[in-house]
Structure 1
Amino acid sequence: MKVEIIKTEIIKPSSPTPPHLKTFKLCLMDQLAPVVYGSLVFFYQAKNNITVQQTSQHLKKSLSETLTRFYPLAGTIKGNSIVECNDDGAHFIQARVHGLLSTYLQKPNSELLHRLLPMEIESPKAATGPILLIQANFFDCGGFAIAIFFSHKLADASTVGIFLKGWSATALGHGDKVVPVFNAASEFPPREFSTQRPAVVLEKAKPVVKRFVFDGSKMAMLKSKAASLSVPQPTRVEAVFAVIWRSIIAAWKSNSGVSKHSVLAQSVNIRKLIDPPLEENCTGNLVGYLAAKTEKESETEVRNLVAQIRKSKKEFAENQVKRFRDKNAFEMLCEYFKAAGEMIRRDDINFLITTSLCNLGLYETDFGLGKPLWVSIPTGSSKNIVALIDTSGGGGGGIEAWVCLSEEDMAVFERDPELLGFATPNPSVLDPVKWRSAL
């Protein structure tokens, strides 16, 4: 499908940012965040009697009003320390997709998903360019996909969720119900440091990216398989991560002929874990990182992997999260990034990076145009990455996994019988009865 850019506009806050709010400090974790964009794409069916121009105008007007409350997103990052809240605005791109939404949703693919984005995820502009970009992609049938593109220097997944709730509420006429909290820099003061931030450098590759869906109807069976004496009631996210991790470990061993130690790294929202807890709508990169490890081949059964994931969570919650508030927080985070970088480069360890956007209420994102048919996560250009998100509708308890592996590893992984006992490779998003006429 061809994607044609129709026009690009700058959307400024509907009211000027007051002088006393013109300088917004990044918090310590913002400073250390990777220079990349995060992205989500929301797919909506056509609305009867509403034109493309009316839809676009409604989105732009509600976005402008939302930016008055989320004013740092309309600013410019300076020197990895502050955002100049100068009302430069967010970029709004309108595009036409030559094809039908139903055709794409029958067999989604990562390549077209990326063509719905305003730029590359790894663009260096994430550190200096626009903080927020929106691309509204209109299909020939009237259905549309809204790509939310945000600099990771200012926002983690929860922050994006807060923004989307605010934009939705504004579009529905009650924007004052969602009030963001911008006090992360006072909780986690920024540092002045001259050296380059201790980033984890991922090997750039052209991974094979495929989608696997764990239907809600199979989740009870999967959680039962993942249960053990140490973790009698695993969460669905833990169970899905464990079965994927097990199958990736098997693929790594099959292709290398060697059983290596394995590490699963995962970002963790610290808002509720830290003492005292942060406010729910506190914005910023308020995350820490845990690492679950396997050292013996006997530890690679699903229930054992769940136990390792739970053990690492407990260790993080009890021992690591408190260190975010002490004076050595910067050194602690540097130690983590250094250790992670060393593990990624080691030949005797296989390193898997995971993230979960489950339970963020993304399917409640209604801009006054209905709730989304489907929400998806475009991934970057690195291998050995797994991203989870709720399945279509958000209420059935299912999980979608986007898995990025080398071509050789994916060839083994996607045929793994244990994986395929719970997951379906890239099924149609559509319920054929419900949406046949709508799309």
Structure 2
Amino acid sequence: MKVEISAKEIIKPSSSTPENLRNFKLSLLDQLAPPTYEPLLLFYFSNSDTGFHFCLKKSLSDTLTRFFPLAGRLKDNITVDCSDYGVVYLEARVDCLLSDFLQQPNADTLKEFLPVEDESIDAAGGEALLLVQSSFFSCGGVAIGVCLSHKFGDAATLSTFIKSWAATSLGSGETVQQPLYNGSSLFPPRAFSEGVIPPPTLLNFTKGKCVVKRFVFAAPKIAALKSIAASASVQQPTRVEAVTALIWKSAMNASRTNLGFSKLSLLSQSVNIRRTTEPPLPENSIGNLLWYFPAQKDESDAELQGLVQELRTGKQDFGKKYVKKLQSKDAYEEVTESLKEELCMLISNDIEFYNCTSLCDFYFYDIDFGWGKPTWVTNISGRSLKNVVRLMDAKGGDGGIEAWVTLEEQDMTLFEEDKELLAYASLNPRVLNITAMDSLKSCL
């Protein structure tokens, strides 16, 4: 399979941003966000034509009038210069059928459908805050790859943007919620003294020679997993808690076997602050409104129920204590102190650090640009960041979960053969079953 870029251009907002909106303030959490891109890939079966290519670009331009900061550039670590520089838009041709590609997608191939590496340092500099790549398969299928700078927003921000773009493409943009730019008022930015920079993000210190693999947990398997993960302390685990705990357990087992001894294991789990404040913030609140709560366990005591309990306790403590601290006048001190504590754990040779991000319940499978709902939606992280887990809803809408897991090579060798893990997860299964693929091939 070959993905060849056929066009590159800059898409600007269809109407100029007013002068009074030209300087957009970041929030404190934006300032502390990692200098990377948040990627999303959506695949569609379609009989697209050149006219629809133009419609995609026109609707993107119209959407940028509402999301005007995305067409800007970072001026410094506080301000986005919203002078309508535009977003990068690429078009590509793919010399294969989408149905063939979906038989067994892999991490290396998926990178070709993204307009930039998600770990690119361009996200921290004066480059585009948003890049898009539309890849057209020989059968008419389409892949939309979107990369949003983490200096501007999180996965929820990306979700709000791409849903607005799709609705505009369908001609129903008026029904979409307008973006709510309230981040800097909730978490005011901090002016750092010369020579002083925000604390380094944890992921910058977790690079290694890694392998990325995809695992899919079907809904019936998750139901069975939840039943054995339940305990008196957590009687009804969520599907994310159950899947995260099993992945964590299997990764710890692999690490302990390869090292020959046990370590303290710390898992940092993302949480959407919008859903934990009192009252909750609107989902269309733009910015990095997420943070991480830690859960820890000794590798020698890695039982599923205990891991679920640690995850639940960490989330409850975050909701009860940490969110209020984030909204206080001492938010910067609280955030930096938390980062310093985790950094000390991270660089310790006695602790194995994991990072898990969940994109479940964002309803990405409802995003329709005019080709119907996507056949597959996925999100994948870079290969150099070890011990990273990314979860999102699996195809089907029945509660299944797809997980991309990044581990060091020797750990992945044992992890992907873990019998308990494979009792509930399938390693890189076909996105479409054989019957569905044959049917589609006959129609395209």
SS at the partner of 1:69?
coil
Pair 1:192-2:191 in alignment: yes
CA contact (8 A) 2:156 2:283 kept: no
Matched residue, 1:389: 392
CA contact (8 A) 2:356 2:388 kept: yes
Aligned partner of 2:210 among 186, 207, 227: 207
SS at the partner of 1:438?
helix
SS at the partner of 2:197?
coil
Amino acid of the residue matched to residue 267 of structure 2? L
Pair 1:379-2:369 in alignment: no
SS at the partner of 2:275?
coil
Q: Distance in 1 between matches of 2:117 and 2:300?
A: 38
Matched residue, 2:164: 166
Which stretch shifts more, 202-211 or 124-133?
A: 202-211
SS at the partner of 1:211?
strand
Q: Find runs of 4+ consecutive structure 1 residues off by over 4 angstroms.
A: none
Matched residue, 1:72: 69
SS at the partner of 1:158?
helix
Matched residue, 1:347: 349
Matched residue, 2:6: 6
Matched residue, 1:21: 21
Aligned partner of 2:305 among 303, 306, 324: 303
Pair 1:94-2:95 in alignment: no
CA contact (8 A) 2:69 2:82 kept: yes
Q: Deviations over 1:185-225 (max 9, x none)?
A: 11111000131211222233231100011011212101101
Which stretch shifts more, 266-275 or 309-318?
A: 266-275
Q: Deviations over 1:30-56 (max 9, x none)?
A: 000010011011011122xx31x2232
Deviation at residue 301 of structure 1 after TM alignment: 1.0
TM-score, normalising length from structure 2?
0.95
Amino acid of the residue matched to residue 345 of structure 2? M
Pair 1:243-2:241 in alignment: no
Deviation at residue 157 of structure 1 after TM alignment: 0.7
CA contact (8 A) 1:3 1:96 kept: yes
Could you say if the C-alpha distance between residues 64 and 418 of structure 1 is closer, same or farther in structure 2, counting changes exceeding 3 Å?
A: same
Matched residue, 1:180: 179
Residues 323-362 of structure 1 mapped to structure 2, 5 A cutoff: 323-362=325-364
Q: Distance in 2 between matches of 1:122 and 1:374?
A: 23
Amino acid of the residue matched to residue 14 of structure 1? S
Deviation at residue 263 of structure 1 after TM alignment: 0.6
Residues 213-232 of structure 1 mapped to structure 2, 5 A cutoff: 213-232=216-235
Q: Distance in 2 between matches of 1:315 and 1:267?
A: 14
CA contact (8 A) 2:36 2:123 kept: yes
Deviation at residue 274 of structure 1 after TM alignment: 1.6
Deviation at residue 90 of structure 1 after TM alignment: 1.1
SS at the partner of 1:271?
helix
Residues 278-317 of structure 1 mapped to structure 2, 5 A cutoff: 278-295=281-298, 297-298=300-301, 300-317=302-319
Amino acid of the residue matched to residue 424 of structure 1? S
Residues 149-164 of structure 1 mapped to structure 2, 5 A cutoff: 149-164=147-162
Q: Distance in 2 between matches of 1:255 and 1:291?
A: 24
Q: Distance in 1 between matches of 2:288 and 2:206?
A: 23
SS at the partner of 1:99?
coil
Q: Deviations over 1:271-314 (max 9, x none)?
A: 1212343222110000121000113623x111110000000001
Q: Distance in 1 between matches of 2:169 and 2:52?
A: 11
Q: Distance in 2 between matches of 1:344 and 1:103?
A: 41
Pair 1:84-2:81 in alignment: yes
CA contact (8 A) 1:46 1:438 kept: no
SS at the partner of 2:51?
helix
Matched residue, 1:368: 370
Deviation at residue 17 of structure 1 after TM alignment: 1.1
Q: Distance in 1 between matches of 2:272 and 2:329?
A: 20
CA contact (8 A) 1:275 1:322 kept: no
Deviation at residue 341 of structure 1 after TM alignment: 1.8
Which stretch shifts more, 21-30 or 97-106?
A: 97-106
Unaligned 5+ runs, structure 2: none
SS at the partner of 2:224?
helix
Deviation at residue 126 of structure 1 after TM alignment: 0.5
Deviation at residue 433 of structure 1 after TM alignment: 2.3
Deviation at residue 11 of structure 1 after TM alignment: 0.9
CA contact (8 A) 1:288 1:321 kept: no
Q: Distance in 1 between matches of 2:298 and 2:263?
A: 8
SS at the partner of 1:223?
helix
Amino acid of the residue matched to residue 108 of structure 1? P
CA contact (8 A) 1:264 1:292 kept: yes
Q: Distance in 1 between matches of 2:224 and 2:380?
A: 29
Amino acid of the residue matched to residue 430 of structure 2? S
Q: Distance in 2 between matches of 1:205 and 1:116?
A: 24
Q: Distance in 2 between matches of 1:425 and 1:18?
A: 50
Matched residue, 1:44: 44
Could you say if the C-alpha distance between residues 272 and 378 of structure 1 is closer, same or farther in structure 2, counting changes exceeding 3 Å?
A: closer
Q: Distance in 2 between matches of 1:434 and 1:411?
A: 32
CA contact (8 A) 2:265 2:299 kept: no
Deviation at residue 182 of structure 1 after TM alignment: 0.6
CA contact (8 A) 2:17 2:84 kept: yes
CA contact (8 A) 2:252 2:299 kept: no
Q: Deviations over 1:138-184 (max 9, x none)?
A: 11221111101110000101111111221121112121222110121
Amino acid of the residue matched to residue 2 of structure 2? K
Matched residue, 1:117: 114
Matched residue, 1:412: 414
Amino acid of the residue matched to residue 66 of structure 1? T
Amino acid of the residue matched to residue 169 of structure 1? A
